[in-house]
Structure 1
Amino acid sequence: MPPDPSSALTFCRDVLPAVSRTFALNIPVLPPPLDTAVTVAYLLCRVADTLEDEAHGPTSEVLLAEFARLCTLPEGWEADALRFTEQAARVLRAQAPEAEVRLVEGVPQVLRALATHPVPVREHVAVCVRTMSEGMGRMGAKGRALAGGLGLASLEETIEYCYYVAGTVGEMLTRLFQWYSPEVARRAARLEPRSVAFGNALQLTNILKDVREDLERGSCWLPRTLLAEHGLTPETLLEPAHRGEAMKAHSRLLAVAHRELRVAFDYVMQLPREEHGIRLFCLWPLFLAVMTLRKLNGNAAVLEKKPVKVSRRTVKWVLGATKLLVAQDRALKLLFSALTAPLPA
């Protein structure tokens, strides 16, 4: 008897909240069948991210390439997916989060869920995962062990890294939105040039928030050239004696994230007002990123051990305010302008 596709979709819905609180919040506001398509797409992208973060040694690049191939659902993919999960389980770090391990072990289930979707959805997802995996394999090695030490060489490389990790997701989501909504498809010329910034903005925010955690794991996605202008290297960034210069460098990168967020907000404003679910899906992480940058701005605690996070009260406020204003462009623009005013330009 062939596997039940409904059990695969159930696995996807069950594992989603464990690997992403944000997407567990905003995917359910999407209309069906877009919600299921985005759930499966996000989980496959998250598998690639886990392989890049948690697999050790050069094996991660081999696994990423094989995973990208599996996402095209080639002949015999089910048997190959089982072998893939066995290989991946052997090279994940012992400290890898339990939820991430569960997701990697569930790759056959997620691929089975992907197979239930129409051809356009499968193609958009496969293109995204392939581009993401190829870029991660190349950029990940740079961020961990360059001849000159940790860190990416320049701001351009940091932005390139953000593209492979998240900008590709912005492109894929835009294509999935177009697949679902003819009105979104009619706006493709306005949406597609801004779609990369939507993903980049969220990834840059995460990089700025997780500076210390990434360094402690042996990775750095900050540009060495910018750090050097402040007399810093990734290896000395966390030293208390350099805290003042470290915060100046952090502020300059925060300004770059702010710039990308402004383009991302313009992206959301191009979405049809009647598509409330798609708008909310984008508005929630975007405004949460704004609130995160506000909390990080000038806050030296970002370089300490305790993570800097927005409060649950702030999350609740963002969700409520954007629900109320979802179709009111002028009010949303005023809110965005007011919240981003304190951020470095």
Structure 2
Amino acid sequence: MSPRNEPDAVSFCREVLPAVSRTFALNIPVLPGPLDTAVMVAYLLCRIADTLEDEAHGPASAALLTELARLSTLPEGWQADAKRFTQEALRVLRAQTPAAELRLLEGTPRVLEALAVHEAPVRGHVAACVATMTEGMGRMGDKGRVSGGGLGLESLEETMRYCYYVAGTVGEMLTRLFTWYSPAVAERAEKLEPRAVAFGNALQLVNILKDVREDLERGSCWLPRTVLAEYGLTPESLLQPDKRDEAMKAHGKLVAVAHRELRQAFEYVMALPREEHGIRLFCLWPLFLAVMTLRKVYGNKAVLEKQPVKISRRTVKWVLGSTKLLVARDSVLKMMFAALTAPLPA
């Protein structure tokens, strides 16, 4: 399916993608077709679920997540149901919802239409991922909400379970889509499948550690209360200026957990066949960008300040360029990964 003759719904997806994800706007185009459009549509449906989780709280959010999962199976009459879903969702979103997220949610019927043009295995893998993701979001979303009642995720186990629902499931789905597309990947399924969840979890945990303040200001905390309590902290006190040293110790302990997940994620990428350059690059780019982000936030008190901590454009260009050159050179990639992760806590 080339961009010149693809359906309008797929073209809409290509147009909206850069506005909702800079990373996936970079790496999805390196995938071979039709794997690229399958992953793009899958990502956008997951992003719609993420918007509902972030911007629509309470019973309405849970009901909308359940309906999104149902619509992703493309049941009879889904077109009319998708329009009603969009209207209801727009009514309950926060006024501060970013414009790009609103546009994507308004386009839910078109994203579903783009899903419908793909083969049955693709549709099945995507629907299964959305079902697991939305069920988990509905179950755990309210646990992460911070309020006067002292909510928040209780333990590291709960934090990792949350990461699984919102990202580990994506790692599983990507593996199934890669296997569907490539016989060479299918031959390595036994090595890939046990590490697929870690690939998604690692990226999500790095985002959680990067976005601590932003999440708290939105009324959520995905850090485990038990780890915070080790340093005399709660989600409600985490941003207090007089608690900075304790907060960074707790943050550093979780950086070590993210480092562990990244190591497993790297093993996942190394298990992909070298001849599948596009699939490897698709995974290498967000993985190494996550490594550079984790290096940036580790021990950096600015992560708890108002100005977001981000890696530079120069760093992004270096990651993309170097991994593109080294995509099939396993030994050099391993040395590069070891060198870049060396400063991170074990």
Normalised to the residue count of structure 2, the TM-score between the two structures is: 0.98
Unaligned runs of 5+ in 1: none
Following superposition of structure 1 onto structure 2, how do residues 180-219 of structure 1 map, counting pairs within 5 Å? 180-219=181-220
Measure how far apart 1:57 and its partner are: 2.4
Following superposition of structure 1 onto structure 2, how do residues 1-345 of structure 1 map, counting pairs within 5 Å? 6-145=7-146, 149-345=150-346
Measure how far apart 1:151 and its partner are: 1.6
Write the letter of the residue equivalent to 1:181.
S
Q: Which runs of 4+ in 1 moved over 4 A?
A: 145-148
Deviations 1:197-229 (A, max 9, x none): 000000000000000000000000000001001
Q: Distance in 1 between matches of 2:63 and 2:95?
A: 19
Q: Distance in 1 between matches of 2:57 and 2:188?
A: 42
Measure how far apart 1:56 and its partner are: 2.8
Contact map agreement 1:297 1:343 (CA 8 A) in 2 = yes
Contact map agreement 2:221 2:235 (CA 8 A) in 1 = yes
Partner of 1:150, secondary structure, is coil
Aligned residues, how many?
Answer: 342
Identity of aligned residues (%): 78
Contact map agreement 2:175 2:192 (CA 8 A) in 1 = yes
Contact map agreement 2:79 2:109 (CA 8 A) in 1 = yes
Write the letter of the residue equivalent to 2:261.
E
Deviations 1:66-112 (A, max 9, x none): 01000000000000000000000000110000000100110000000
Contact map agreement 1:5 1:112 (CA 8 A) in 2 = no
Deviations 1:227-268 (A, max 9, x none): 001000000000011100100000000000000000000000
Measure how far apart 1:145 and its partner are: 4.9
Write the letter of the residue equivalent to 1:303.
L
Q: Distance in 2 between matches of 1:281 and 1:295?
A: 22
Deviations 1:143-196 (A, max 9, x none): 015785132000000000000000000000000000000010111110000000
Normalised to the residue count of structure 1, the TM-score between the two structures is: 0.98
Partner of 1:287, secondary structure, is helix
Deviations 1:293-316 (A, max 9, x none): 100111000000000000000000
Contact map agreement 1:150 1:235 (CA 8 A) in 2 = no
Write the letter of the residue equivalent to 1:78.
Q
Contact map agreement 2:58 2:142 (CA 8 A) in 1 = no
Q: Distance in 2 between matches of 1:146 and 1:183?
A: 49
Partner of 1:152, secondary structure, is coil
Q: CA RMSD in A?
A: 1.1
Write the letter of the residue equivalent to 2:83.
L
Q: Distance in 2 between matches of 1:190 and 1:26?
A: 23
Contact map agreement 1:5 1:116 (CA 8 A) in 2 = no
